[in-house]
A and B are shown apart, each in its own frame.
Chain A
Amino acid sequence: MEIFLTGLTIFVLAIFAGFEIITKIPPTLHTPLMSGANAISGITLVGALVAAGAEQNLLTTVLGFSAIVCATINVVGGFLVTNRMLAMFKKKG
Chain B
Amino acid sequence: MQNVLINGTYLLASVLFILGLKGLTHPRTAVRGNLLGALGMFLAVIVTLLDQRIVDWTVVLAGLLVGTAVGTVLAVRIQMTAMPQLVALFNGLGGAASALVAGTALMGAGLPDRELMFQYTAASAAAGLIGAVTFWGSLVAFAKLQELVSEKPMAFPGQQVFNAILAAVSLGLGVWLMFTPDPGLWYWGVVILASILGVSLVTPIGGADMPVVIALLNSYSGLAAAATGFVLMNNVLIIAGSLVGASGLILTQIMCHAMNRSLPAVLFGVAGPPSDKQMTADQVYGGKVKSASPDEVAMLFEGARRVVIVPGYGMAVAQAQHAVAELAELLESRDIEVEYAIHPVAGRMPGHMNVLLAEADVPYEKLKDMDDINPTFEETDVVIVNGSNDIVNPLARTDTQSLLAGMPILDVDKAKTVVVVKRSLSPGFAGVPNPLFAAPNCLMMFGDGKKMMLELISALKAAA
On B, residues with C-beta under 8 Å from A are 10, 13-14, 17-18, 20-22, 24-28, 30-31, 33-35, 37-38, 40-41, 44-45, 48-49, 51, 53-57, 59-60, 62-64, 66-68, 70-72, 74-76, 78, 80, 83, 86-87, 90-91, 93-94, 96-98, 100-101, 103-105, 107-109, 115-116, 119, 214-215, 218, 221-222, 224-226, 228-248, 250-251, 254, 342, 344, 349-352, 354-355, 358-359, 361, 363-367, 369
Contacts and interface: CB of A to CB of B under 8 A. Distances in A.
B55 A54 contact: yes
Given A28-B351, A70-B93, A89-B364, A48 B108 contact: no
Contacts, number: 388
Contacts of B107: 59-60, 63
B87 A7 contact: no
A70 B242 contact: no
16 contacts: A15-B245, A15-B246, A21-B22, A30-B354, A33-B24, A44-B237, A52-B59, A53-B55, A54-B53, A60-B104, A68-B63, A71-B67, A77-B70, A85-B83, A88-B359, A91-B363
A36 B66 contact: no
Nearest to A56: B108
A30 to B, nearest CB: 3
Contact of A11 (B55, B242, B247): B242
A51 B101 contact: yes
A91 B28 CA distance: 8
Main SS of chain B's interface residues? helix
B344 A39 contact: no
Interface residues of A, number: 84
Q: Which 9 pairs between the two chains have the least Cβ-Cβ distance?
A: A72-B67, A68-B63, A18-B246, A53-B54, A30-B351, A77-B71, A76-B71, A80-B75, A31-B351
Nearest to A49: B48
A63 B33 CA distance: 33
Main SS of chain A's interface residues? helix
Given A27-B351, A43-B236, A51 B108 contact: yes
Most buried by B among A26, A44, A55, A71: A44
Contacts of B83: 31, 35, 81, 85
Contact of B244 (A41, A47, A50): A41
A37 B74 contact: no
Given A71-B67, A74-B97, A19 B246 contact: yes
B94 A44 contact: yes
B137 to A, nearest CB: 14
Given A37-B218, A44-B228, A52 B60 contact: yes
A68 B238 contact: no
Contacts of A38: 87, 90-91, 94, 218, 221, 244
A4 B60 contact: no
Given A7-B235, A18-B245, A69 B63 contact: yes
A60 B109 CA distance: 10
A90 B443 CA distance: 33
